[in-house]
């Protein structure tokens, strides 16, 4: 489903717009739709992309667990743009596509470990309104991941909530980033083992 921008696309003009376009095309092959929305407020655009550059350098959490948590959160919110982009990023980072594609139906799929399932359950519990996180969830994950990775996991889910809620509210839908992946992203509720 193509994006239905709820506000008009901004034109990426000026030196900053040209730089964003060059970097986006070099990095992702195209300009992400959310850049066209964010560009209506340039100080906010700079802040968001600066923050995202810093977030990309965090490394206390296993990248697979990070991806599963982000995609489980995006799926709980219903952000097809975030799922599409997340699957593309997993592909470009060399993560196991056959496994990543199962995130939308992780409860029914037989490909995930207990830890991976607990991470996705935590991401969904954090994403619920109101949050459904329990002391037991945090204690169990903290014991297996360690404090730094647990804090990073929690912040990554919070960051993904911000991304997904923004993109969904602005009407952004799958942009086709994941078309380069070997397998299409699985629809929710039709698992294979």
At 193 the pLDDT is 41
- Could you give the residue ranges of the DSSP H alpha helices within the chain? 14-28, 33-38, 42-55, 63-77, 80-92, 97-100, 114-127, 135-145, 147-169
Global pTM reads: 0.90
Cα separation, 10 vs 28, whole angstroms: 19
Cα–Cα distances in Å, from 190 out to 12, 83, 108, 117, 185?
A: 40, 16, 7, 17, 11
Q: What is the pLDDT of residue 78?
A: 93
The confidence score (pLDDT) of residue 189 equals 59
Q: What is the pLDDT of residue 2?
A: 55
Range 63-180 classified under CATH 1.20.120.1760: no
- Whole-number pLDDT of residue 101: 87
Q: Which residues of the chain have pLDDT under 50?
A: 1, 190-193
Q: What is the pLDDT of residue 183?
A: 63
Domain ranges of the chain: 14-55, 63-180
Quick: pLDDT tens for 149-170.
999 999 999 999 999 999 999 9
**pLDDT for 180:** 78
């Amino acid at each position: 489903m193509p994006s239905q921008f709820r506000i008009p696309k901004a034109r990426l003009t000026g030196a900053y717009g040209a730089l964003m376009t060059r970097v986006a095309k070099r990095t992702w092959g195209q300009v992400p739709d959310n850049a066209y929305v964010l560009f209506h407020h340039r100080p906010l655009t700079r802040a968001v992309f600066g923050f995202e550059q810093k977030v990309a350098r965090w490394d206390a959490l296993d990248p697979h667990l990070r991806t599963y948590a982000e995609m489980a959160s995006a799926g709980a919110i219903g952000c097809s743009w975030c799922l599409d982009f997340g699957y593309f990023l997993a592909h470009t980072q060399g993560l196991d596509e056959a496994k990543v594609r199962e995130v939308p139906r992780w409860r029914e799929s037989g490909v995930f470990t207990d830890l991976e399932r607990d991470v996705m359950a935590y991401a969904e519990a954090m994403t619920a309104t109101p949050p459904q996180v329990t002391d037991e969830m945090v204690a169990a994950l903290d014991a297996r991941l360690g404090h730094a990775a647990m804090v990073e996991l929690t912040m990554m889910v919070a960051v993904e909530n911000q991304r997904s809620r923004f993109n969904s509210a602005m009407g952004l839908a799958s942009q086709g980033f994941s078309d380069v992946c070997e397998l299409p992203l699985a629809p929710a509720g039709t698992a294979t083992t």
